[in-house]
Structure 1
């Protein structure tokens, strides 16, 4: 990764790389979870037929199917070459690791799992952290070592 690209990740919070990132993240969240909800429907139909083939054993996955779909959706999109989910791309943001390495599938899953964990504990108040931190980072961004930037500044 070039030094020019890395410099955007460590730009001051008032710089163009981070302006409006927090509100764009909220909108990207809404778009992404609508897409996950839409993808859940064919996954549920597929699981129904797999359940028939496995004599009902696959039906045990129904309670966690939404989470399984979300894990693969975010792992493959945020951990892919675009470094952003479709919702993030529609809002013009991307995620990157602070050490300059590209996001991978497992880092994206860890980011998602920590988001779910902190959101279940602190509810949407987790977004308040972004108002008081530099680069608009949230708790799970600090723990995983990621930062969300505007993709038009990359």
Structure 2
């Protein structure tokens, strides 16, 4: 057994990028912008999915048509994971709407967290009342934001 009385203890600071620590301007119009960003991203993911679907159907001479219908979730998973964890910290739709996503400590979102956030978002679209959480939380955070430990804000100017 080691004696911990003289050892330094690690202190964990509270995450600094939480809504209560950010200016209110960082969250003005975020919900409306997120809806518009989702619409843009949904169109882009649908176009990518359709392109991959038809390309694979053509390459395999139609033999893969039974395997291709679940392609949209795979495309959405990688689309969100790669774009949010990238240098812009946003999907193209979020970037167009002047939004960015960070972890609660202010850092970049990793690929796995961004992809898991997208999965939780698409699952929560099946239960629309879950989105009402965003109306009562600080910073208008959705339930999937809280579970993933991310904050969506306006881009700093």
TM-score (norm 2): 0.81
Q: Is the contact made by 2:18 and 2:105 (CA closer than 8 Å) also made in structure 1? A: no
Q: Is the contact made by 1:43 and 1:69 (CA closer than 8 Å) also made in structure 2? A: no
TM alignment of 1:46-65, pairs within 5 A: 46-52=55-61, 56=63, 58-65=64-71
Aligned to 2:136: 132
**Displacement of 1:92 after TM fit?**
0.5
Query: 1 or 2, which has the higher helix percentage?
Result: 1
- Bigger drift between 36-45 and 11-20 goes to 11-20
TM alignment of 1:77-116, pairs within 5 A: 77-116=83-122
**Displacement of 1:61 after TM fit?**
2.9
**Displacement of 1:10 after TM fit?**
2.8
CA distance in 2, matches of 1:79, 1:89: 13
Which of 45, 53, 62 is residue 44 of structure 1 equivalent to? 53
SS in 2 for 1:148: strand
Aligned to 2:18: 10
Change (3 A) 1:114 1:44: same
Greater radius of gyration (CA): 2
Q: Extract structure 1 runs of 4+ deviating beyond 4 A.
A: none
What is the count of residue pairs matched by the alignment?
142
SS in 1 for 2:48: helix
Give the aligned CA root-mean-square deviation in angstroms: 2.0
| Cα deviation digits, residues 97-118 of structure 1 (max 9, x gap) | 1133311221111001111222
**Displacement of 1:32 after TM fit?**
0.6
**Displacement of 1:14 after TM fit?**
6.6
